[in-house]
Amino acid sequence: MSQFAPTSDQRHTASPPPHLEAWSLPPGWSWGAEAILREHRHYQEVVDALGRSLSLVSAPDPSHDEWLQHEARALAHRNHPSVPTTYHYWASYEESRRGPGYLRRWIGGETVFSRISRLGPDDVPFALQVLREAGSTLAYLHDTGAAHGAISASTVWLTPGGRLWLLGWEWVLPRDQRPAGLQPDAAHTPWPPEWAPGEWRPTPASDQWQLAAMLFTMLTGETPPERAVPPLSLLRPDCPLALGAVLERALATDPADRFPSVAAMLRDMDRHVSVRPVLIAPEGDELPAALDSAEARLRWATADDYEILSPLGKGMFGSVWRARDLSLAREVAIKVLHPHIARDDVAVARFRREARLAAQLAHAAIVPIYDTDSRGDIVWYTMELAEGGSVASLLSRSGPRSFEEIAPQVDEVLEALHAAHTSGIIHRDLKPENILIDRYRRWRIGDFGIAYALGEEGAGTSGTPSFAAPEQLLGEAQGPATDCYALASIVYFVVTGRAPFGDGRAETVLAQQLSNTLPARLLEEGLPGALADWLQRGLAVRVEDRFEDALEMRVAWREVVRAMRRVEDVRPWWRRLIEGGQEDGTSEPPSGW
C-alpha cells in the first residue's frame, strides 16, 4: 500500500501562456489572473464584459485541436449538475484572432487531492456526500452508454459552496475522437486490477472501482492496493461497517464480484449506511423534544419547502445550509437563527423588518435575500447560494490575493455599500466571512442589515473585533463610516493575509488602533505608496479623518488603481513575472480552473 504521495498533475502558469499570446479577446473582456496547466489541457480564467469569470479551455498542442472540439461538443450535450457544460466554442479560422477553445463556467475550489494534502483524511459524513454526488454523476454517465475511465482525486473538484464537479472530460469520448495512443497518466489515475499496465479500458465496472479507490484514499490517506484490500474498519475504526463493506465489494479484484452498477452500489449504501436522521414530520407547530440538532430542527420546519443538503457554516446569529428550494427547483442558502435569538420577539420583529429592507437592495454586489419565514420558534431566511464560499475561506485556502485581482471587486463592493447607505441601511458586521463569492468569482456582500437588526444595541463587539472600527469597539454611535472602516480592514487583510490590528480580543485590537501602529505596519508589509495612503485614510481613528463616504472612497480607490497600473507598467515583463508570483506558483495551491 502506498502512502498518499503529495504530487499533483496540475500547476499554475503565467497568464496568458505562449499558446494564447496571439489571441485577442472580444471588446470588454480581459484575461483573469488564474491559469492551470494539466496534461493536454490549459484552463485560463477570462473575465467577460459582464464581469463574470469564465474558464477558457484550450489545448497547448495544435495537433489536439480536433480532440478539443469533440470534447466541447460532447460536453455541450451533457446535462447533469456536476458536469460543466460548454457555454461557447471559439472556432479558429483564417481571420479569427482567437480559438480554438471553449468557454465554461469557472469552477472555484480545489480537487479532492488538494483537500487531502491540505487537511489529511476526511470525516465520514463528508466522504459519504462525495460518494453520493460523484456516484450519481457516474450513474448518469453510464445511463448514456459511456464510461469515464479517469475518476481520481485530481478529477473530482469540490467548491466551498459544497458542490461537486467531475472533470477529466477530455477522456470521455469514443476512441475515434481521441488521439491514438494517448491515455490518462497512470501516475495520477488509480489503475483497476483488470487493466494490464499501460492498458486503459474504461468500463462502468472500472469506474466503480476508481470511485471506491478515491473514497478509500479520502478516508485513509492511502491509495488501496490492487489486490487484497485491507478492511476499512482496521484503518478507520470510526467508519460504519456497512460503508466498509460497500467499498470492499466495489474494490473487488474481479469485476464480476462488484456491484452490477454504480446505481446499485449507491442504493445498497443508502439502505445500510445512515448518517442523517430520518425524520417523519409530525403535525402542528410544536417542536418535537427529540430534535436537538440545528439540522434536525431545520429539516422539521422546512420539510415541504426545502431539502436540506449540507452545512455551509455557523455564525453569530445562526447556522447556514445549502438547500434545494423544492417548488422553484433551485439551490439556495438558508440561514436558521440560533434558538436564543429566535425566542426574542423584539429581535425577530426587527430582523424581519430589516430583511425586508435588505431584500429591496438590488445590486450586483449584494447577496439577494429571497424570503424569510418561520415555523414554531424556528426562524430562517433564504438567500442566493454563494458557490465560491467567502473571502475568508478563499484566503485560508489560497493565501493573500494580488492587487490586480481584487481591484475590480473592491470597486463593485464600494458601489454596493454606497447604494445601501443612501437607502439608509448599514451593515455593521462587514468582515471577510460576510463577503461571499459567486459562481463567476464576483464578490458580494452578504447579511446586509442583519447585524444591525439583531446585534445587541450599542455593544458593538459582535463577532470578531479584527475588522471593527474604534467607535464600534468603544460602543459609540455607528453609521456608514463604520462600514467604510471595516471595508478598508478587509482590503488590508486580503492583500497581506493579516488583519490590520491583529486578531486578538477587542481591547487588544482597540489599543492597537488608538496607539496608531498603522504607519509602521504598512511600511513593514511593503505595500505600494498609493495603496498604503488609501488604507491609512480608510483606517483613520477619527471618523472625520476618513473618507467622506463610500462614494469618495471609491473615487480614491480608482486613483489607487491608476497609480498601481503606472507602477506596473515600468517594470520589465520578467520582473512582473517574478514579483507577481504567478509563474508556476507551485507553492500556492490551485484555487480554481
What are the residues binding ligand ATP (CB under 6 A)?
161, 312-318, 320, 333, 335, 367, 383-386, 389-390, 393, 429, 433-434, 436, 446-447, 463
What residue number has its CB nearest to ligand ATP? 315
For Mg ion, what does the binding mask look like between residues 145 and 184, x meaning CB under 5 A?
Answer: ----------------------------------------
Report the number of secondary-structure helices (H) and strands (E) in the chain: 20, 18
Q: Return d(Cα 390, Cα 369) in angstroms, integer.
A: 16
Q: Which is nearer to ligand ATP, 71 or 384 (CB)?
A: 384
Q: Which does 436 bind (CB under 5 to 8 A by kind): Mg ion, ligand ATP, none?
A: ligand ATP
Q: Which does 429 bind (CB under 5 to 8 A by kind): ligand ATP, Mg ion, none?
A: ligand ATP
Using only C-alpha atoms, the chain has a radius of gyration, in whole angstroms, of 26
Which residue in the block uniquely carries the three cell numbers 514579483?
A: 579
What residue number has its CB nearest to Mg ion? 447
DSSP 257: G
H/E run at residue 101: strand 101-105
Q: Which does 386 bind (CB under 5 to 8 A by kind): Mg ion, ligand ATP, none?
A: ligand ATP
Q: Return d(Cα 134, Cα 434) in angstroms, integer.
A: 30
Q: Is 322:310 a contact under the CB 8 Å cutoff?
A: yes
The least distance separating ligand ATP from the CB of residue 129, rounded to whole angstroms, comes to: 16
What Å distances lie between residue 245 and 250, 258, 269, 415, CA to CA? 9, 11, 9, 55
Sign of torsion, CA 430 431 432 433?
negative
Q: Return d(Cα 43, Cα 102) in angstroms, integer.
A: 10
Q: Which is nearer to Mg ion, 165 or 448 (CB)?
A: 448
Q: Which does 390 bind (CB under 5 to 8 A by kind): ligand ATP, Mg ion, none?
A: ligand ATP
Q: Which does 313 bind (CB under 5 to 8 A by kind): Mg ion, ligand ATP, none?
A: ligand ATP
The least distance separating Mg ion from the CB of residue 529, rounded to whole angstroms, comes to: 34
Q: Is 348:167 a contact under the CB 8 Å cutoff?
A: no
Burial class (CB in 10 A: 0-12, 13-18, 19+), 460: buried
Q: Which is nearer to Mg ion, 447 or 471 (CB)?
A: 447
Q: Which is nearer to Mg ion, 348 or 535 (CB)?
A: 348
The least distance separating ligand ATP from the CB of residue 438, rounded to whole angstroms, comes to: 9
Q: Which is nearer to Mg ion, 160 or 315 (CB)?
A: 315
Q: Which of 48, 384, 447, 483 binds Mg ion (CB under 5 A)?
A: 447
H/E run at residue 358: helix 345-359
* Backbone phi, psi, residue 111, to 5°: -80, 165
Q: Which does 463 bind (CB under 5 to 8 A by kind): ligand ATP, Mg ion, none?
A: ligand ATP
Q: Return d(Cα 461, Cα 476) in angstroms, integer.
A: 11
Q: Which is nearer to ligand ATP, 150 or 366 (CB)?
A: 366
Please list every residue from 292 through 321 that binds Mg ion, using CB under 5 A.
315
Residue 168 one-letter amino acid: G
Q: Return d(Cα 482, Cα 326) in angstroms, integer.
A: 39
# chain residues binding Mg ion, by CB under 5 A: 3
Q: Is 592:34 a contact under the CB 8 Å cutoff?
A: yes
User: How many C-beta atoms lie closer than 10 Å to residue 211's C-beta?
Assistant: 27
The least distance separating ligand ATP from the CB of residue 405, rounded to whole angstroms, comes to: 19
Q: Return d(Cα 436, Cα 383) in angstroms, integer.
A: 12
| Residue 434 makes contact with Mg ion by CB under 5 A | yes
The least distance separating Mg ion from the CB of residue 429, rounded to whole angstroms, comes to: 7
Contacts of 354 (CB under 8 A, 6+ apart): 425, 449, 450, 452, 453
The least distance separating ligand ATP from the CB of residue 288, rounded to whole angstroms, comes to: 25
Q: Which is nearer to ligand ATP, 15 or 461 (CB)?
A: 461
Q: Which does 389 bind (CB under 5 to 8 A by kind): ligand ATP, Mg ion, none?
A: ligand ATP
Q: Which does 561 bind (CB under 5 to 8 A by kind): ligand ATP, Mg ion, none?
A: none
Q: Which is nearer to ligand ATP, 154 or 461 (CB)?
A: 461
Q: Which is nearer to ligand ATP, 321 or 501 (CB)?
A: 321
Q: Which is nearer to Mg ion, 55 or 319 (CB)?
A: 319
Whole-angstrom distance between the N-terminal and C-terminal Cα of the chain?
31
Q: Which does 438 bind (CB under 5 to 8 A by kind): Mg ion, ligand ATP, none?
A: none
Cell matching residue 566: 503606472
Q: Is 112:142 a contact under the CB 8 Å cutoff?
A: no
Q: Which stretch binds Mg ion (CB under 5 A): 414-422, 432-440, 451-459, 535-543?
A: 432-440
Contacts of 119 (CB under 8 A, 6+ apart): none
The least distance separating Mg ion from the CB of residue 431, rounded to whole angstroms, comes to: 8
Q: Is 548:481 a contact under the CB 8 Å cutoff?
A: no
Q: Return d(Cα 273, Cα 201) in angstroms, integer.
A: 31
Q: Which stretch binds Mg ion (CB under 5 A): 28-36, 252-260, 418-426, 433-441?
A: 433-441
The least distance separating ligand ATP from the CB of residue 319, rounded to whole angstroms, comes to: 6
Q: Which is nearer to ligand ATP, 393 or 513 (CB)?
A: 393
| Residue 390 makes contact with Mg ion by CB under 5 A | no
User: How many C-beta atoms lie closer than 10 Å to residue 264's C-beta?
Assistant: 13
The least distance separating Mg ion from the CB of residue 469, rounded to whole angstroms, comes to: 18
Q: Which of 59, 60, 31 is nearest to 45 (CA)?
A: 31
| Residue 462 makes contact with Mg ion by CB under 5 A | no
Contact residues toward Mg ion (CB under 5 A) are 315, 434, 447
